[in-house]
Amino acid sequence: MKKIVLDEEDIPKYWYNIQADLSDPLDPPLNPQTMEPIKPDDLKAIFPMGLIQQEVSRERYIPIPEEIREIYRIWRPTPLYRAERLEKALKTPAKIYFKWEGVSPPGSHKPNSAVAQAYYNMKEGIERLVTETGAGQWGSALAFGTNLFDMKSRIYMVKCSYEQKPYRRVLMESWGAEVYPSPTELTEVGRKIRAEDSDTSGSLGIAISEAVEDAATHDDTNYALGSVLNYVVLHQTVIGQEMKKQFELIDDYPDIIIGCVGGGSNFAGASFPFLHDKITGKKPDLRVISVEPLACPTLTKGRYRYDFGDTAGLTPLLKMYTLGHSFIPAAIHAGGLRYHGDSPLLSKLTKDGYMEAVAYHQREVFEAALLFAKTEGFVVAPETAHAVKATIDFARMCKEEKTIVFANSGHGYFDLSAYDAYHKGTIQDYEYPDELIDKAMRDLSDIPE
């Protein structure tokens, strides 16, 4: 195994904003009451102005405050590894690399944005943040970030993940967060959904609705989002900028970049600095491949259109690939990939042909993750395991030397119950039926495409 490391002074001083390089701008978020483009003042009830300005900015580089870079130094820059043992096991001519974000205190890429969001809210006098979390990576990161700035936090954790991953809850509580299985009795949205289906496994869409309602009804509270929005994707570009420097050190450049996608922040952060080269014509043959579960096939089977980001319809309408905001996914172990929509930026770049997507069943994903663990030693999160599976598949297809890199977004040490279920043979594959997607699209008939 070869490790490529950077010095602390190589931590990026700017976030890269891919909106500056789009030939045509994103379709704007819409106010669902007026169907007119949302105005910055419409978002002030739940977001700080510093983040709202980043959301709409088309500046290519946005300075990272030194207070945030100082915290980044706890774990950044993160290492880039060459997976030589995996290459040998696959008997592939491909060179395989991975960018390892599992070295952060919460164990994933998520604090790259959580720390930034806590900082901008703290600067504007907000005392408490609320959010949703699927597998618990984002909730852990926000608890970590708010703790550093002496803020309170409440996490609405998707019910099935709350039950599957108890140690994620313990980690959040260790940093001072309140954690509840969503849907709860704490919000009007939660009470309504529980009354309709007391056995629901929950979803990220439901948990978002609860968190947004909580933020909107407390003056000292704002909402924090772990993926999807432009400013979250922006914060994650520290990953890809570091990767570019690391490949420069070894005089190489990826032919294929791979990452798992739920909302899209991890993979967007890793790939967007490279996509700059593809968009501007410097690397037109670069392949950028998103990986998702067949149980939640947003990019591979969803529709590109406006939809709510949450189940209850409390958020602005976003133009994105979606399975419909009424989507309730199967209780697969990759909880962070169980979201009905995707980042509008990632969706647009996929629609425009700059990115492509593949989807897998969860048993084959765990099989790939175990091969990676046996060759490279890292036990990765079930979400990340999707990227491992695609990397193995593309490496096996190589007939000549290619450079493949995947975004290794987090460790799986709090996901060992999922690995245990795989070993015992109790994990089931599930593919989301096309007829349910068609039904969800009919439910959107009142929303403009």
What are 75-85's pLDDT values in tens digits?
Answer: 999 999 999 99
Q: Are 243 and 82 in contact (CB under 8 A)?
A: no
Q: Is residue 378 very low, low, confident or very high in pLDDT (cuts 50, 70, 90)?
A: very high
Give burial (CB, 10 Å; 0-12/13-18/19+) of 283. middle
Does the pLDDT of residue 276 top 70, yes or no?
Answer: yes
Token pair 């395989």 is found at 96
Segment among 19-23, 193-197, 435-439 with least mean pLDDT:
435-439
Q: Are 141 and 111 in contact (CB under 8 A)?
A: yes
Which residues, at least 6 apart from 364, have a Cβ–Cβ distance to it below 8 Å?
A: 389
Query: Which is more confident, 253 or 328?
Result: 253
CA distance 409 to 104: 10
The tokens describing 350, both together, are 């996929």
Domains 41-64+110-230 and 75-107+233-442 share a fold: yes
Class of domain 41-64+110-230: alpha beta
Domain layout of the chain by residue ranges: 41-64+110-230, 75-107+233-442
Q: Considering the entire predicted model, what is its pTM?
A: 0.94
Question: Buried b vs exposed e over 187-207: b needs ≥16 C-beta within 10 Å?
Answer: bebbeebbeeeeebbbbbbbb
Does the pLDDT of residue 445 top 80, yes or no?
Answer: no
Q: Are 86 and 376 in contact (CB under 8 A)?
A: yes
- CATH, range 75-107+233-442: 3.40.50.1100
Distance of CA 94 to the CA centre of its chain: 27
Q: Is residue 308 very low, low, confident or very high in pLDDT (cuts 50, 70, 90)?
A: confident
Give burial (CB, 10 Å; 0-12/13-18/19+) of 62. middle
Q: What is the mean pLDDT of residues 44-54?
A: 92
Q: What pLDDT was estimated at residue 114?
A: 97
For the chain, give the mean pLDDT. 92
Q: What pLDDT was estimated at residue 334?
A: 54
Does the pLDDT of residue 431 top 90, yes or no?
Answer: no
